[in-house]
A and B are shown apart, each in its own frame.
Chain A
Amino acid sequence: MPELFRDWFAARGWSPRPHQLALLDAVQGGSSALLVAPTGGGKTLAGFLPSLVDLHENPRPEGMGSLHTLYISPLKALAVDIARNLTAPVEAMGLPIRIETRTGDTPANRRARQRVDPPNFLLTTPESLALLLTLPDAAEMFSGLHAIVVDEIHALAGSKRGDQLALGLARLATLAPEARRIGLSATVAHPGPLRAYLSPTGLAKDVALVQGAPGAPPSLDILLPEGRLPWGGHMGLASMPEVYRRIRGAGVTIVFVNTRAQAELCFQALWRLNDDNLPIGLHHGSLTVEQRRKVEAAMADGRLRAVVATASLDLGIDWGAVDQVVQVGAPKGVSRLLQRIGRANHRMDEASQAVLVPANRFEVIECVAARQAIDAHELDGDPPREGGLDVLCQHILACAVAGPFHPDDLYAEILRAAPYAKLTRKDFDDALRFVEDGGYALQSYDRFRRLFRDSEGLIHIRGPAAARQLRMNLGTIVETPLLKVRLRGGPVLGEVEEWFVSTLSPGDCFIFAGQLLRFEGLDALACLVSRGGEGEPRVPAYAGSRMPLTTHLAARVRGILHDPAAWPALPESVREWLRLQQHASIMPPRDGLLVETFPRGERWFLVAYCFEGRLAHQSLGMLVTKRMEHLGMAPLGYLATDYVLAAWCAFEPQGIERLFEEDILGEELEEWMAESSMLRRTFRNIATIAGLIEKNHPGQEKSGRAMTMNADLIYDVLRRHEPDHILLRATRREASAGLTDVARIALILARARAGGIRHMALPRPSPLSVPALIEEGREWVAGGAEDALLAEAAALVADATDGAEIFGELLAEVTESIPPRGDRDRARKPRDAKRRNSRFIRSAPKNYGAPK
């Protein structure tokens, strides 16, 4: 390291950390490198150090070719923050380096200037990089590129944004073969796949691995609510008084929760307890960006004592001064928990202070399991999955927009991106054909082709329209339709999902942005609200926002349950509960599968202790109930928690083995996948990313949205007429890899086969089954369920109106003779039924507003 740098470190009383020097060595030796280090280890500086040194020794002239280092982060805010942090050492050492950011927020004139006169360091996001690569002068701009720094690489690899970035990196390798790659990652279970992800060849061996020293182990408390330990629920509100005391006792606290709904409720509960008027803030992904920035700024300035946050704060800028992290609800995964804990005290040699607050009995065991895993230095997390074909389609069009290409060259380039290393030529050709004209077997779109081939086999784009379309739809984040929430005559508070608003009637109240709000109505663009309101408030929930339990943590939970020797680590009330279970039934075995059946009410229940996470259980529930139907057990419904699958049916379930045979993944899976609403959602996202349908642009006029096609209609037609189309293949592939967790279902079934099924036919529910039976959010058996519900509702309305309206009479006279008052009464019945049972809508608890 040059003198200048050593002095700079020394002047601050610092010395370079070993991993910073090791990374510098590796990169100066011409190699790409992955740095794995805990938070607070000076990772970012390590990543930039080789570039700072190189520019110190070899200053770059202004103008084209001046771009030296490209930094890519998953968060815009992070890019901006890093730019600010780098300015200090650059100015202190007087280095001739210009640093700029380029994100969606960068003004057009600066973006234009950056194309003519790029800075030395450009800090950006995967989306902005993808846009840069479509520019005709991209080759020139990146020609002198020396280093690419990918921050928080563990958060990108394995996601669709990660796929897009991997393809972008492959492109960059073609434009600037000299550029070395530097990856910065939090501690992960599988550094191997991350090295491969970063590698210019797609092979892990071509990337050096630099491991930072592990930080001090965190100090981890488990906090139980005063009084009785709840049987169910995930909100953890019973523990808020204790959490509040902890907040009061510490300097600055982050209270992490698992869902946005939980964030709203905990925030409210804390403020009701807040006799000291402590400044406590709220941070989640549905609040407006300005609001989030305000909270972050207040936090950075030390003006807040606590902030209640969701995953929106998992990543992000370093605040330094956080003293403790509280995790309310089960941690769900060890790596994520560590990441969150790491937000407290960003100095790696001091122990982070963290408190786990389980909300119910199972969560207590999960918290204990997580603590043991952390003590044992075990991490979880799945290796990245294969790259999505939808992202590939978008990338191919982007390449065509950038300039003509030969398909053989592009295919070879894409194979060097690790997520696509196994891409078959057929999939590539099909993706190319899709971009060209939709790629349908029925070739009726010849004359509308977007691409054409010249005599040398190069592929060109036809006309500027496709380029415009691509730039409008670039990116892999597909938003669900959202509506702004606006205070009447006041500011926008944030956004909620459109379907939630569709369940509200004027006068209803709900909790959002930490306030009790009354729904007033809709205007063209927003949901209008006023402050206050009466009645039981609701909390907007967001589809699919809960993370499932990881395989690794689930195995530990199973291990604790199975082994009474491990129970002393548990609190007495939990031990008592497990002893009751031992007495009434048996404990779930470590290998094999425990299935309990018992009668209750007018029906039979079946509870399977699978421990493979909610998503897998949800899918398994669909499959098992389908088979129950075939076997004549008349299933009525089922429910999935992270730990168990519970199903209920009209007749006593017998021959349980047949329900968990591995062939369930054949016929039943196919049958279900065809109808599944999850698959429809997956298809909608894939069709949007691939460019088949327009992206929803936030704030777009309703009339604009009316022009977009309903993806469900396309899905139905395509499935009937061309079931093997590339987008349907992509949908099935993605669903079985992630959304439906088919791999984890296979694990359950394999365990059941190897270890055997222990079937306990009980006279009544077992203690372990109770949490599941009181769980919210039931799924109804698929296959005409929607129609059965409609028929029920129609019959209900007919009953409520006493058959006063028999259609076939002269309806006009009937309707006109009914006074408006009567109309209101008729409408009430179904709406009340909806309130009680609506699937995703959670009501605040009855005693809401009066904790204790």
Chain B
Amino acid sequence: MTAAAPVHIAGQRLMLDPAGFLVWPAEKLLAVADLHLEKGSSFAAAGRFLPPYDTRETLERLALGLRRWKPRRLVLLGDSFHDRHGCARLPPADCAALTRMLAGLEEVVWVLGNHDPEPPVGLAGIAAEEWRLGPFTFRHIAQPAAMGKPVPPGEISGHFHPKASMPTRAGSVTRPCFMTDGRRMMLPAFGAYTGGLDLRDPAIAGLFPRGGRAFLLGPDRLYSFPTGPLRMLARAPEAANAPPP
């Protein structure tokens, strides 16, 4: 039995699925971030022959979420493909599986990311830099607050691959996580070959100046922890610029 956790943002009830999906039940919407499809073949082109099963693995996990939540809308929050030619490299079997999956949905939104700045060719759905529905704005990279102004509530984003380490009595455990401060929500990366960036990294910490709550992914539940302000160890600014994979 997989337990999703409810959160309230902008007056709306959202569900966080331990597999890494965000669900908005009122709109039958499912959002997922950073699939990085065809990352394996992207590395292979550079001479690192990673096992070529990542796309298949990621799509199988996505299919599980679609079966569980039966959404009408699917929002992919960018970096759905690892590079701009990823869509063209999809193996025929995987491409067919993805096409079937998308055919069952009323609306598919490909938010564009830094890895895939162009809309996928030959796949259902619309592409957008940003997409709004109700109080929510779906974008790939969270926008920093303007000087002195609070962030308007309702931003849902991906890009940073947030992960968090929790101390336990037998050493700390690190997992990908959702991160929210009640105004914005950052999704964990979903792809089979996606690593993570620690919440305390200035790139993420700066977006949550007052901290918030992290939801670490587990096989059948989330583990939630308040984070406090993510003020952390001083790192030199250049390290902050390192883009996540």
Contact = CB atoms under 8 A, between A and B. Distances in A.
Nearest to A713: B193
Given A709-B193, A713-B192, A809-B8, A831 B50 contact: no
Given A448-B45, A794-B224, A807-B224, A442 B52 contact: yes
Contacts of A450: 47
Interface stretch (B69-77, B108-116, B212-220): B212-220
A721 B171 contact: no
A469 B47 contact: yes
A838 interface: yes
Interface stretch (A23-31, A249-257, A519-527): A519-527
A710 B223 CA distance: 23
A811 interface: yes
Interface residues of A, number: 79
Contacts of A801: 226
A444 B50 contact: no
B212 A811 contact: yes
A716 to B, nearest CB: 8
Best-buried of B182, B226, B234 by chain A (most CB within 10 Å): B226
Contacts of B238: 524
Contacts of A812: 153, 181-183
Contacts of A701: 242
SS class of chain A's interface: helix, strand, loop or mixed?
A: helix
A793 B167 contact: yes
Contacts of B210: 815-816
A438 B51 contact: yes
Best-buried of B41, B53, B210, B244 by chain A (most CB within 10 Å): B53
A703 B218 CA distance: 28
B181 A794 contact: no
B56 interface: yes
Contacts of B41: 444-445, 448
Nearest to B201: A702
Contacts of A838: 169-171
Contacts of A465: 46-47
Interface string B45-72: 1111111111011000000000000000
Contacts of A707: 245
Interface string A792-808: 11100100010001011
A717 B241 contact: no
Nearest to A442: B52
B3 to A, nearest CB: 12
B123 interface: no
Given A444-B91, A792-B169, A706 B49 contact: no
A786 interface: yes
Nearest to B239: A524
A840 interface: yes
Contacts of A716: 192
B103 interface: no
B91 A833 contact: no
A445 B239 CA distance: 34
Given A522-B234, A523-B234, A717 B57 contact: yes
A793 B52 contact: no
Interface stretch (A414-422, A550-558, A819-827): A819-827
A405 interface: no
Best-buried of A445, A707, A722, A807 by chain B (most CB within 10 Å): A807
B6 interface: yes
Interface in B191-223: 192-195, 197, 210-213, 216, 218-219, 221, 223
B236 interface: yes
Contacts of A791: 218, 221, 223
B165 A834 contact: no
Contacts of B221: 791
A834 B168 contact: yes
A785 B22 CA distance: 26
Given A448-B44, A521-B234, A811 B7 contact: yes
Best-buried of B166, B170, B181 by chain A (most CB within 10 Å): B170
Contact of A444 (B52, B165, B181): B52
B235 interface: yes
Contact of A811 (B180, B218, B229): B180
A438 B193 contact: no
Contacts of B175: 790
A87 interface: no
B135 interface: no
Contacts of A787: 218-219
Contacts of B44: 437-438, 445, 448
A830 B216 CA distance: 16
A793 B6 contact: no
A720 interface: yes
30 contacts: A438-B50, A440-B52, A442-B91, A445-B52, A448-B47, A465-B47, A503-B167, A524-B239, A692-B48, A692-B50, A703-B241, A706-B195, A706-B244, A710-B193, A714-B193, A717-B54, A718-B51, A721-B57, A789-B170, A790-B218, A790-B223, A793-B167, A794-B224, A794-B225, A812-B153, A815-B211, A834-B167, A834-B169, A837-B170, A840-B171
Interface of A: 434, 437-440, 442, 444-445, 448, 450, 465-466, 469, 502-503, 506, 521-524, 691-694, 701-703, 706-707, 709-710, 713-714, 716-718, 720-722, 725, 778, 780, 784-787, 789-794, 797, 801, 805, 807-816, 820, 823-824, 826-827, 830-831, 833-834, 836-840
Given A522-B235, A805-B226, A807-B5, 7 more contacts: A444-B41, A466-B47, A524-B238, A725-B51, A787-B219, A791-B218, A809-B8
